[in-house]
Structure 1
């Protein structure tokens, strides 16, 4: 069925990080979850055999009792009457659920609190072929006797015939269709709608194996409604567990008391469809699709504005006609995530589910939210800032070679090379990317060479013999490579070479000052000018990098960090004569 437009009333935004985490050395934000488990003895469960149950005695606060009953299949809505003998002197909580006495979003049908001397009527939606449970709990007050009466007189019956759709499964995850097959046909047939009743179709969503994808229900007029009147309109609604009858007076679905809106499909000759409803990660159970055709006069706003208790909508007349429907499941949204994402299967705790891996800061379940997406010119400017800022290391390489620090010059060149190509590969938002190797390899090399540059610069400032310097450089390289592989973005990885190297510098400088009985070591020009300026520049860059860098200013602040480190190296790397 070709795609005309998409409506997704049940979409829940899901943001999936499209790239590797930003390089940060500040402490990350953490969320602490505190879980508590309350264990209680299961309450007595009574099976209702008639419309009236004996009084339920709740003696102490926290006492609860449950009643289980089964409804006829042709009932779609009913109610119960609850009465508490103690009246206002106690507060009783009442929950009505289906399939399970445990209240959850999918199974909760009605909830109320009883604290009056009059009986309270609680309407609820009826599930087909499922036990229903009434749970009463004493919240506060004195002991009470609670009576429960099922109101047979207000039950809403449906004369709709439920047709079970035929499932067709495919080898891939979450890929299956439900088809409407007539007689011995192998291809899904069109649906003939009548004026007398709602056409209802049911299909099963299995637990675990079917819930990790997206259920898509589509509806369109056959042959774009060429054989139908101009004002021909079809209303449809989808729901889990309960048969949805469509009112012939208002065109509205008889919605659940506990929910605000049902997923609804409306198609007409002016908009023949297909019209889609996407339901991500559908709940397991028996689902229903209800359809009904009307002749809808011009400027008719039903069922959008008709209230549920309206008795008549004069601009709607039940009609007959032919529509085509599709019920299918697929990973993500029809197997893809549009132009700005990729559909990926995830596995967590033994469960498999699909999700969209969004690119270029697109967000949302189907990667269509462009609120945080930068335009191409901004992406290009950010990419050039992050890559070209590394050219300041040319100055660091020149000073290292001029001062006979050849190994250090090689490390600075490696920093410039890997940082440039890492940002060229990672920061182009899939528009201007240029990758000479896998981004994970480039990221490791960028972090490792940056850490090593800190270390060799501090070792050079100590002023040891060539043999001792080589041992410290090589030993530091081994340790830093291990640290970068363990957790390259952790704060302790950056602080380890910095603190260790600073302690070495302080120890040997103080030792030489005491041996020479002077405080002027290293030379005055380095001690009073180059060293404070270099420390100040690196500290300023570190403050901006650790505390001021955000996603919005990442390109600007991180580029300044590159230049601050390169400039600090030029100032801190001492001339050998200053250490004599």
Structure 2
């Protein structure tokens, strides 16, 4: 159900001590009025209103009213002289309507449809620390300076992805470079991106890109055959998309596929160690200057994501998560193959025509 708003207005001249008492109840009407304004019945607690000459309008907001028959009970009360109620005439105007979100969530919120446990309902998604049914409670709201700092942190932290993007293109890993570029683009909370997509879609793409970036980095380290690598990449992306739809902030929804990719990588490394009769990777410089720093950054990023990230420190911890994720990818990407030249992929895209000659001799048979 959607929130229910009800308001009443009195239009008559009565004495200052005369009150119009209003009770709104579900399941059964309220029949016994008194000066305590208690609208409780045997089935429902009820909502109370009061109108007078000094307060001619009253508003009642019922968030998510239950499905039932609703009753509006009115009573004219004259505490000092009951005789006045017999002579008084009061005109009451009532208006009742349903809205999906109260006041359209105001300037600091967005009205969204939610589906939880088979129920579909509307609600306000507040921003920048604002709370309340219509995002009007500023008790925990962020100041303008804090919002600018949070936006600056989230934007500048994404520039760290330029390092793995550049290394991927340098080593002719175009698929990895495209995924890192996707993550960097959708992790940027700029106005240009928000004009194209809403915040919820932008956040989903951010989490999807981060998960797939980890997945593709580990698969690249495993040095699989191209066909098997791209099949696993596609399957992993589909699994990430499904798991993030179920629970976007679930730790195992992100770490489960990554642990599976890690098992594949360790299996391939152990196989190469047994096949070559020595440790893989073979260079100790690779372990000390690349793998150990990359693994340390990845472990710290996972710790922040699983145990330290909350709604209060989201902007700061998520910015650190971005930097650690991009830094670990830059350290963990495998070196280019010896037979592949640097920037070899860019050299394949020529901008001119090339005439190919067939130097083989043509053999003809005369019959």
The equivalent of 1:414 in structure 2 is 182
CA distance in 2, matches of 1:411, 1:531: 21
The equivalent of 1:317 in structure 2 is 81
User: How big is the shift at 1:411?
Assistant: 2.6
CA distance in 2, matches of 1:496, 1:463: 21
Cα offsets for 1:268-289 (capped at 9, x unmatched): 3xx2421334455275255421
Match of 2:162 among 394, 407, 412: 394
Mean Cα deviation higher: 258-267 or 450-459: 258-267
| Aligned-partner SS, 1:291 | strand
Match of 1:274 among 46, 54, 57: 57
Cα offsets for 1:94-123 (capped at 9, x unmatched): xxxxxxxxxxxxxxxxxxxxxxxxxxxxxx
Count residues in correspondence: 324
Cα offsets for 1:319-354 (capped at 9, x unmatched): 3555442233211499745625577888999999x7
Change (3 A) 1:527 1:235: same
Query: Does residue 243 of structure 1 match 2:31?
Result: yes
Q: Which has the higher helix share?
A: 2
The answer to whether the Cα contact below 8 Å between 1:343 and 1:357 also exists between their aligned partners in 2 is yes
The answer to whether the Cα contact below 8 Å between 1:520 and 1:527 also exists between their aligned partners in 2 is no
Cα offsets for 1:515-548 (capped at 9, x unmatched): 4443373311111232111101110011011111
Query: Does residue 471 of structure 1 match 2:230?
Result: no
> TM-score, normalised on structure 1?
0.47
CA distance in 1, matches of 2:331, 2:115: 51
The equivalent of 2:365 in structure 1 is none
CA distance in 2, matches of 1:573, 1:346: 40
Query: Does residue 216 of structure 1 match 2:6?
Result: yes
**Match runs of 1:351-362 below 5 Å:** 356-360=123-127, 362=130
The equivalent of 2:239 in structure 1 is 483
| Aligned-partner SS, 1:263 | strand
The equivalent of 1:525 in structure 2 is 285
The answer to whether the Cα contact below 8 Å between 1:389 and 1:563 also exists between their aligned partners in 2 is yes
User: How big is the shift at 1:214?
Assistant: 2.6
| Aligned-partner SS, 1:329 | strand
CA distance in 1, matches of 2:218, 2:50: 69
**Match runs of 1:83-232 below 5 Å:** 214=4, 216-222=6-12, 225=13, 231-232=16-17
Q: Which has the higher strand share?
A: 1
The answer to whether the Cα contact below 8 Å between 2:22 and 2:50 also exists between their aligned partners in 1 is yes
The equivalent of 1:327 in structure 2 is 94
User: How big is the shift at 1:476?
Assistant: 2.2
The answer to whether the Cα contact below 8 Å between 2:105 and 2:111 also exists between their aligned partners in 1 is no
The answer to whether the Cα contact below 8 Å between 1:337 and 1:367 also exists between their aligned partners in 2 is no
Query: Root-mean-square deviation (CA), in Å?
Result: 4.0
The equivalent of 1:379 in structure 2 is 147
Match of 2:319 among 556, 559, 575: 559
Q: Give 5+ residue unaligned stretches, structure 1.
A: 1-210, 295-315, 426-431
The equivalent of 2:344 in structure 1 is none
Change (3 A) 1:347 1:455: closer
The answer to whether the Cα contact below 8 Å between 2:294 and 2:328 also exists between their aligned partners in 1 is yes
CA distance in 2, matches of 1:334, 1:407: 43
| Aligned-partner SS, 2:263 | helix
The answer to whether the Cα contact below 8 Å between 1:455 and 1:497 also exists between their aligned partners in 2 is yes
CA distance in 1, matches of 2:122, 2:216: 45
**Match runs of 1:333-348 below 5 Å:** 336-337=103-104, 339=106
Q: Give 5+ residue unaligned stretches, structure 2.
A: 340-367
The equivalent of 1:20 in structure 2 is none
Match of 1:494 among 254, 258, 266: 254
